[in-house]
Amino acid sequence: MSQPGIPISGGAPAGLQAQNGAASASGSLYTNGPVQNTLMSSQVSVSQGYNSQLPGSYPHLIPAKTLNPVSGQSNYGGSQTVSPLSNYQGPGQTLYRPLVASNPVTTSLHGGSVPRMPLPTSQNAAATSMPSGSFLPGASVQPPSNWQYNYPSTGSQTDHCPRASSQSLSGNTNLTTHQYVSSGDPSLQNSFIKSGSAPPLVNPPLPTTFQPGAPLGPPPTGGPPPLRVLTPQKSSHRGVPQPSFNSAVNQEGITPNTNNGSMVVHNSYDEIEGGGFSATPQHTNKNPTMNRSVGYSYPSLPPGYQNTAPPSTTAMPPSSLNYPSGPQGFNQTPLGANHLTTSMSGLSLHPEGLRVINLLQERNMLPSTPLQPPVPNLHEDIQKLNCNPELFRCTLTSIPQTQALLNKAKLPLGLLLHPFKDLVQLPVVTSSTIVRCRSCRTYINPFVSFLDQRRWKCNLCYRVNDVPEEFMYNPLTRVYGEPHRRPEVQNATIEFMAPSEYMLRPPQPPVYLFVFDVSHNAVETGYLNTVCQSLLDNLDLLPGNTRTKIGFITFDSTIHFYSLQEGLSQPQMLIVSDIEDVFIPMPENLLVNLNESKELVQDLLKTLPQMFTKTLETQSALGPALQAAFKLMSPTGGRMSVFQTQLPTLGVGALRPREEPNQRSSAKEIHLTPSTDFYKKLALDCSGQQVAVDLFLLSGQYSDLASLGCISRYSAGSVYYYPSYHHQQNPVQVQKLQKELQRYLTRKIGFEAVMRIRCTKGLSIHTFHGNFFVRSTDLLSLPNVNPDAGYAVQMSVEESLTDTQLVSFQSALLYTSSKAVDRSVTASLSDARDALVNAVIDSLSAYRSSVLSNQQPGLMVPFSLRLFPLFVLALLKQKSFQTGTNARLDERIFAMCQVKNQPLVYLMLTTHPSLYRVDNLSDEGALNINDRTIPQPSILQLSVEKLSRDGAFLMDAGSVLMLWVGKNCGQNFLSRVLGVQNYALIPQTMTDLPELDTPESARIIAFISWLREQRPLFPILYVIRDESPMKANFLQNMVEDRTESALSYYEFLLHIQQQVNK
């Protein structure tokens, strides 16, 4: 976008977006539990299917872990590998556009070696037959009688500022701010506007009183009218190093230092965006091991875990617990502040969050409707200003006053960000002055305080600043003297057109380079036809302007360039056979203006699939091809899209097969780390030159994604994985690739981005999670930013917040619009599993010892943490962390990539899918969206106990939809939805539903289409018959049931109870 009245001469606007949020600094730790769907499991063994028998015994309760306290913060599963466990809206968040402020999360201390958590050992337990009477053949599965069913389940901001453009320079800045109430304040009424976390996401409009998207012009000339008074707020910033790469002077008047290192970065964003304090950039090329001094180590899940109690044949828990069969009376009354220990007396608590629940007795904890984000403990007026939690939220609704209290609570304090998310409504402001704190460089936001019409107080560092003359004019009301009514102070998420001083070089044109594998294996898959056709269909929809550039490289054992110079009658292929010393022939003709050479580009895309149909070359020189692509894009930066179908075998970056198929089910964690640092080093070089690499892996064989994925992870790119892709043998993958390419090619994109997170004085950033390069302590380098990427930040409390009433977070995303420390991974998967299990044990132990006044039998949790154990168990059963999985190694690595890069709403579906019964859909309670009626069936617990053979059940697992049709499903559903006359006629490989002229067909198709909307990855639909091989995949997602390698939910609760009571 450009400044009104200034002509654009080929310049691409840059953007700055900010998000702001506030949180309560002294909330109760136990009112802030993970808020996700909770399901209690039955004791039916899932891994064996319906016709199997229950294992003969329950696993042993795990021995108590040995606690060796170590000073410092706890690291759940290692740095930057395991995302924050809880999903809370942090108190006090404020937003301004795509940059989303994060939410607070508490960490825990834990140390010493401890036994791993037990796994069920059905393989060495004598199988016992199941009682009769169940829907499972020859089995009767009844819910345990000592579970109660009488309790129904119950159900931040960002700062973005685009750069205002001068003639050919423009920028965007996106700001977001959040606020939270701190301890010592009276309890504030909570009227947070909840935003749905269930898919598909429906973005609630941000509060705004002006025309969104319309740039606001300069004030009129003339004398100023009388002045007025304004309202207060806050925000804080953490110091950042100032890596400078140019001699240009930024808007602070600071001359950047010259970068003499190996990495060249054209823009000193740290200087421009405004770092507060100097810090040393963290550049690490090695994967550090987990620092045990930072926290406790959590026990993992050892195999061979047996229950001491005798086998149960009734699917009931061990009788030694002696719980009553009916509802058990609970004598403890809801706790108030007077019941808390002295160390927690300063917390501001939600009464509902404090309600005590015995998880071993109350089963119906999972809401029948999608869970909403947690509500920060803020006053109603502040809540209305807070950031949209879909953009920016905190893991806790109240912030502990001290690190000691945070450690005692054993909950993670962090922020979850989705900064560049597609928004229907976003305020855009054009101004020659962007008002910021002179000390910490915080952008003015709804939580600052106006002392009078001429002065405002920063909500992060509390410095008093002068109000610029231009800011006195309100472009909405056209009134002078109303700075408190400006859009910047009325909206948590906002976008600015940043002025030229926010850039150290002119905005570069959008550049798209496509790198294709054309070896014999690649040609056999037929992927080139799909990709080239998608490019032809979407060529005019690529984000950009008249300066957009495009280029193509293909490779097998050699590298092929394509000259697309304007005036040529057809594209010319240039072959470089020396892959040991790659050079770029005719670089000026390889990246060409799309508008000027569109006909040549279209000719190449039409002929490319047929050019290599007869090739016999089986080698793959991926490494040299990436080096050539990097050299070609270095001057401008841009997006590199790489399509690979096999293991690289030639030149630098060549890899050897490492997967051992016989070891897939082994508890040993092998080959999960890169075998070479070539791709990581190249990714860091790409990041320094503002090049992001997106990897599309289409392979039926092992391709070492653990090594190849580094090229995307450290360059802020994305990984797409299509196992067993073949245009004829696997048509469902072809459909998935088509849909995801359409989204990939047409979604918005930001170039040369940096993101900085600021927080109230006393808090500091501990760890980052996501795909990026950490340039300094609070500055992330993002060569490309896209709306499908999520990030997370772990926080710590450095100074006491006793005197702080509101805690604020602000994220600022500086990027160039298309119109115009080295991260470490966790030491091992066992460490990650240990961290997850002990996160539950530690938090519930802290609650039991510090909050509960009367010790009751069972597993007592506050209402806000009621779903915490369920979601941790679901994560342990997810492909990333699961033991004994038969998944391919590349599939496991891809799942780990998704955990680190997906926004929370999509990640939760992958971790804990939603299960619906769909053979009886009705319009009752349906949504009406754009003249469509969308049924809203209830969400069911993930247990085979909820299945029935006379029904049909749809499971939404994020990237895949599975429709299981029972063997005795009604004729009405078969004929009016599936279009078959009887069950036997359902195709074994059915991947789509026919569009029939029946109300039943219209309802389920509308519901599935609604679920698929706004997903970054297209969910494939599988229709599964009872005897289908796919049924095993369906049942593996029943996280509440026992599998061959994991406990059932009830068994997991028993283990947690034993550890908590030690």
- Look at residue 464 and tell me if it is in a domain: no
Query: How would residue 129 be classed by pLDDT, with cut points 50, 70 and 90?
Result: very low
pLDDT at 381 over 90: no
* Residue 294 domain-assigned (yes or no): no
Structure tokens at 125: 């337990």
Residue type, 1017: L
DSSP code, position 976: I
Q: What value, to the nearest 5°, has the Cα angle with vertex 540 and ends 539 and 541?
A: 90
Round to whole Å and give the CA distance between 498 and 484.
Answer: 21
Residue 466 confidence class, pLDDT cut points 50, 70, 90:
very high
User: Average per-residue pLDDT in the chain?
Assistant: 71
Crossing angle between the packed helical segments 598-611 and 527-538, to the nearest 10 degrees: 170
Q: Are 88 and 21 in contact (CB under 8 A)?
A: no
Average the pLDDT over 928-939 and give the result.
Answer: 90
The candidate with the shortest Cα–Cα distance to 314, out of 139, 570, 179, is 139
User: 426 versus 552: which is more confidently predicted?
Assistant: 552
| Inter-residue contact 441 to 275 (CB < 8 Å) | yes
Percent share of the chain, pLDDT over 70: 64
Q: What is the pLDDT of residue 670?
A: 61
Whether 516 is covered by a domain: the verdict is yes
Contact 871, 839 (CB under 8 A): no
- In this prediction, residue 472 carries a pLDDT of 87
Domain end point (choices 746, 774, 796): 746
Query: Averaging pLDDT over each range in 124-133, 262-271, 286-295, 1026-1035, which range is the top one?
Result: 1026-1035
The per-residue pLDDT for range 581-630, each reduced to its tens digit, is 889 988 888 999 999 999 999 999 999 999 999 888 999 999 999 999 99
Looking at residue 915, what is its pLDDT? 95
- Torsion angle of the four alpha carbons 436, 442, 444, 449, in this order, in degrees rounded to the nearest 10: -110
User: What sign does the dihedral 30-31-37-40 (CA atoms) show?
Assistant: positive
Query: Which tokens belong to 24?
Result: 């309560």
Burial class (CB in 10 A: 0-12, 13-18, 19+), 735: middle
pLDDT over threshold 70, residue 173: no
% of the chain at pLDDT higher than 90: 29
CA distance 11 to 499: 13
Nearest to 231 by CA among 393, 384, 426, 394: 384
DSSP assignment, residue 920?
Answer: T
Q: Tell me how far apart the alpha carbons of residues 726 and 734 are, in angstroms, rounded to a whole number.
A: 7
Rounded Cα gap, residues 250 and 503, in angstroms: 8
Distance CA 1040, CA 144 (A): 14
Q: Which of 701, 695, 711, 698 is nearest to 653 (CA)?
A: 711
User: CA torsion sign, 246 to 247 to 251 to 252?
Assistant: positive
- 736 or 887, greater pLDDT: 736
Q: What is the pLDDT of residue 118?
A: 55
Strands 927-929 and 511-517: unpaired
- Looking at residue 352, its pLDDT comes to 64
Assigned domain for 519 exists: yes
Give whichever of 30-39, 212-221, 876-885 has the largest mean pLDDT: 876-885
Report the pLDDT value the prediction gives residue 979, as an integer from 0 to 100: 92
pLDDT at position 143 is 38
pLDDT of residue 176: 60
Dihedrals phi, psi of 681, to nearest 5 degrees: -65, -40
Q: Of 728, 746, 764, which one is at a domain's C-terminal end? A: 746
pTM of the model: 0.67
Token pair recorded at residue 197: 């976390």
User: What does the pLDDT read at residue 18?
Assistant: 56
**For 32-89, how does the pLDDT look when each residue is reduced to its tens digit (9 = 90+)?**
333 333 333 333 333 333 333 333 333 333 333 333 333 333 333 333 333 333 333 3
Tell me the residue range of the domain where 925 lies: 913-1036
Residue 927's CATH number: 3.40.20.10
Is 719's pLDDT higher than 50? yes
- Most confident by average pLDDT, 31-35, 164-168, 363-367, 732-736: 732-736
Q: Report how far residue 156's alpha carbon sits from residue 178's, in angstroms, rounded to the nearest whole number.
A: 4
CA-CA distance, 737 to 742, in Å (whole number)? Answer: 8
Residue 605 lies in a domain: yes
Could you tell me what percentage of the chain is helix, strand and coil, using 3-state DSSP and rounding each to the nearest 5? 25, 20, 60
Average pLDDT over residues 715-723: 92
pLDDT at 315 over 80: no
In a domain, 660, yes or no: yes
Neighbouring CB atoms inside 10 A of 1031's CB total 16
The pLDDT confidence band at residue 505, using thresholds 50, 70 and 90, is confident
Lowest mean pLDDT among 10-14, 155-159, 675-679: 10-14
So what's the pLDDT on residue 160? Answer: 40
Residue 951 in any domain: the answer is yes
Give the mean model confidence (pLDDT) for residues 112-138. 42
Give the ranges where 918-973 is alpha helix by DSSP (H): 971-973
Flag the least confident range among 118-122, 212-216, 329-333, 347-351.
329-333
Average pLDDT over residues 490-508: 79
Q: Give pLDDT, residue 1029.
A: 85
| Mean pLDDT across 681-690 | 92
What is the predicted pLDDT for the residue at 851? 83
pLDDT mean over 245-259? 34
Total structural domains within the chain: 2
Convert the pLDDT of each residue in 794-851 to its tens digit.
999 999 998 888 888 998 888 777 765 332 333 466 777 788 888 888 888 888 888 8
Mean pLDDT of 470-494: 83
Which of 698, 721, 746 is the C-terminal boundary of a domain?
746
- With 90 as the cut, is the pLDDT of residue 682 above it? yes
Query: Could you tell me which of 101, 219, 24, 157 has the C-alpha nearest to residue 446?
Result: 157
Residue 209 has pLDDT above 90, yes or no: no
Residue range 711-731: mean pLDDT, rounded: 91
Which residues make Cβ contacts (< 8 Å) with residue 746, sequence separation at least 6? 538, 541, 542, 543
pLDDT at residue 273, as a whole number = 53
- Residue 565's CB is within 10 A of a number of other CB atoms, namely 15
- Which of the four pLDDT bands, split at 50, 70 and 90, describes residue 938? very high
| Residue 1051 to residue 119: CA distance in whole angstroms | 10
For residues 551 and 641, the answer to whether their CB atoms sit within 8 Å is no
For residue 726, the one-letter residue type is H
* CA angle (1008, 1012, 1017) in 5-degree steps: 145
The angle subtended at Cα 253 by Cα 249 and Cα 254, nearest 5°, is: 70
Q: Which tens digit of pLDDT belongs to each residue from 524-580?
A: 999 999 999 999 999 999 998 888 999 999 999 999 999 998 888 899 999 999 999
| Interacting residues of 744 by C-beta distance below 8 A, sequence separation 6+ | 641, 694, 720
Cα(814)–Cα(267) distance, rounded to whole angstroms? 11
Structure token pair of residue 372: 């909403």
Q: Could you give the 3-state DSSP secondary structure of residue 779?
A: strand
CATH number of the domain that residue 616 is part of: 3.40.50.410
Q: What is the pLDDT of residues 572-594, one digit of tens each?
A: 999 999 999 889 988 888 999 99
Q: State residue 18 phi and psi, 5-degree precision.
A: -130, 145
Q: CA–CA distance from 206 to each of 156, 385, 424, 425 (Å)? A: 12, 9, 9, 7
Task: Kindly report, residue by residue over 666-678, the tens digit of the pLDDT.
Answer: 545 567 788 899 9
Q: Provide the pLDDT for residue 330.
A: 34
Contacts of 221 (CB under 8 A, 6+ apart): none
Residue 60 lies in a domain: no
Residue 25 pLDDT: 55
CB 553 within 8 A of CB 599: no
pLDDT: is 1004 or 168 the higher one? 1004
919, 924, 943, 965, 975 from 950: Cα distances, Å: 9, 22, 16, 8, 14
- Which residues lie across from 392 on neighbouring strands? 417
Q: Please tell me the predicted confidence (pLDDT) of residue 398.
A: 87
For residue 601, the model assigns a pLDDT of: 94
Work out the angle between the directed axes of helices 889-901 and 904-911 (0-180°, nearest 10): 140
For the chain, counts of helices (H) and of strands (E)? 21, 35
Buried b (16+ CB within 10 A) or exposed e, 21-51: bbbbbbbbbbbbbbbbbbbbbbbbbbbbbbe
How far is 633 from 588, CA to CA, in rounded Å?
Answer: 11
